[in-house]
Structure 1
Amino acid sequence: MEESQETNVSLKLLIDTESHRVLFAEADKNFIDFLFHILALPVGTFIALLTKQGMVGSLGNIYESIENLNITYLQPNLNKETLLKPKVHIPGGGTGVPLLLPNVESSSSSLKFYKCAGNDGPRFIVDGNDCKDYVADDNRAICPSCGNVMSHKLNFVPSPRATNAGSSSSEGGYVKGVVTYMVMDDLVVKPMSTISSITLLNSFNVKDLGALEEKVIHLGIDEGVKLLKASLRSKNVLTDVFLPMLKVEIESVL
């Protein structure tokens, strides 16, 4: 596990000290972008981050089988890295997301496409299609028209993004930054409001408001991986991840 690194991602937890649980957290755009980005991660990335031994079920065995499989059994246009270290391609949305998970390549700039030499030379037409009709994401692919290797790299152009100061889309990520969000213990996300907070406290049957305590947590890579792991196993993610950390912090002070 990599050591925790300081980021600009933080959470304000509301803790019920009597029931020893996190009722909900107050979060800004950075944390919500991180949570939403988890859904874009390929399974291979999950397993690599959590280690094969830490996986629930048998997916870790599939990962290990690929690691141990001789490359002679793979198709010639594939390699193990494609499956074991997949890249996350999310045009627009993947940029600006806090780097709370290690070794996750997620950027529109990582998209690569290739054309063949026929695009620059004479046109070859086969069954009504010419070289200009084909593009590949692997520089070892063979052009169906001319038979040349498609090794000429093209430059990917992401979708246009609003650049005016009043537009939230220039922030990157997934959600707008002008809103404060409420994150439940089971990672349900909704916009924060005073009325919703009061309603929640009633639903939690909180009798003693004096038993409620606020704690601000700063997240690094270590906490990001713990959140990812807990989200796959638990309905009480914030409680499972942060209460043990706070207990250790309090004990160290004492």
Structure 2
Amino acid sequence: MADTKVKLKLLVDKEAKIVLFAEASKEFADFLFYVLSLPAGTIVRLLEKKNMVGCLGNLYESIEHLNETYIQPNQNKSFLLNPKSPVYSTDMPLLLSDHELKTRNVYMCSYPHFYVAETPNVVCPECERKMTTKAPYVNASSNPAGKSTTVTSERGFVKAVVTYMVMDNLELKPMSTISSVTMLNSFHVKDVCSLEEKIVDFGVEEGLKLLKASLECKNVLTSIFLGNNGPQKGSCS
């Protein structure tokens, strides 16, 4: 599948060499929200492919190479190495569609004993039969409280009714003229001539860089798109 990309409009302070904020669409906002739902094992696995992961990568490899002899019989290493996403498959952002992200399934035995398991072949505590029958999984986004299951919801987390403002530190809010002016005042911008609009592409590669940078610093957009650390504390190394 081709790398899906979205456009970001950056407002850059050329003198300070920092990104003040980005104007972003629903797709980018959905991606940021989805990042919060990723299990640590999934984050390590995604970054490990690009050799971008730190010490957690060593822990991941240790578990991966640990002999099953040392694992409790009721435990499975795949829970840690390949954790399932808590988000329903239709809610996955397009920016991650190129990656193998496991969505959640549950299994039950052939009798209605009201037990479910996240992995098949677990023994039912009631009848001691293996739980191999896949049960339908419904989450809040696919069946919002008080709404019929026949209602088709828009994909993702946020509505596409506004443009979103994303700060350099990934703080997100709906875009408005007032919020833009307030933000410029907070950065003590005196000369608008020092400001530059820059349109960039954001795809899977940039998504992985954002994921890594968001764990390391507070000037994420500057680090990704300007290639420098900026003057802020906690800058990316």
* Partner in structure 2 of residue 198 of structure 1: 181
TM-score between the two structures when normalised by the length of structure 1: 0.77
Q: For the residues of structure 2 that align with 1:49 and 1:37, how far apart are their CA atoms? A: 14
Secondary structure of the equivalent of 1:216?
strand
Q: 5 Å matches for 1:29-108?
A: 29-51=26-48, 54-56=52-54, 58-91=55-88, 95-100=91-96, 102-105=98-101
Structure 2 counterpart of 1:215, from 161, 177, 198: 198
Q: For the residues of structure 2 that align with 1:148 and 1:36, how far apart are their CA atoms? A: 39
- Asked if structure 1 preserves the Cα contact closer than 8 Å seen for 2:85 and 2:104, the reply is no
Unaligned runs of 5+ in 1: 120-130, 246-254
* Partner in structure 1 of residue 10 of structure 2: 13
Secondary structure of the equivalent of 1:5?
coil
* Partner in structure 2 of residue 251 of structure 1: none
| Identity score, percent | 51
CA distance change for structure 1 residues 229 and 138 in 2, over 3 Å: closer, same or farther? Answer: same
Secondary structure of the equivalent of 2:84?
coil
Q: For the residues of structure 2 that align with 1:43 and 1:63, how far apart are their CA atoms? A: 10
CA distance change for structure 1 residues 71 and 102 in 2, over 3 Å: closer, same or farther? Answer: farther
1:221-243: CA deviation from partner (whole Å, max 9, x where unpaired)? 11110011111111111101001
- Asked if structure 1 preserves the Cα contact closer than 8 Å seen for 2:39 and 2:85, the reply is yes
Q: CA deviation at 1:97?
A: 1.6
Aligned-residue RMSD, C-alpha:
2.7
Q: For the residues of structure 2 that align with 1:201 and 1:153, how far apart are their CA atoms? A: 53
1:7-37: CA deviation from partner (whole Å, max 9, x where unpaired)? 2x22100001111111111111111110011
1:112-162: CA deviation from partner (whole Å, max 9, x where unpaired)? 222223x1xxxxxxxxxxx52322222221122222112223233454367
Q: For the residues of structure 2 that align with 1:18 and 1:66, how far apart are their CA atoms? A: 47
TM-score between the two structures when normalised by the length of structure 2: 0.82
- Asked if structure 1 preserves the Cα contact closer than 8 Å seen for 2:164 and 2:175, the reply is yes
Q: How many residues align?
A: 221
Greater Cα shift, 67-76 or 182-191: 67-76
Secondary structure of the equivalent of 2:166?
strand
* Partner in structure 2 of residue 22 of structure 1: 19
1:180-224: CA deviation from partner (whole Å, max 9, x where unpaired)? 111111111111111111122122122221121101111111111
Amino acid at match of 1:113: V
Unaligned runs of 5+ in 2: 229-237
* Partner in structure 2 of residue 234 of structure 1: 217
Q: Does 1:140 align with 2:133?
A: no
Secondary structure of the equivalent of 2:46?
helix
Secondary structure of the equivalent of 1:48?
helix
Please state which structure has a larger fraction of its residues in helix.
1
Q: CA deviation at 1:67?
A: 1.4
- Asked if structure 2 preserves the Cα contact closer than 8 Å seen for 1:28 and 1:181, the reply is yes
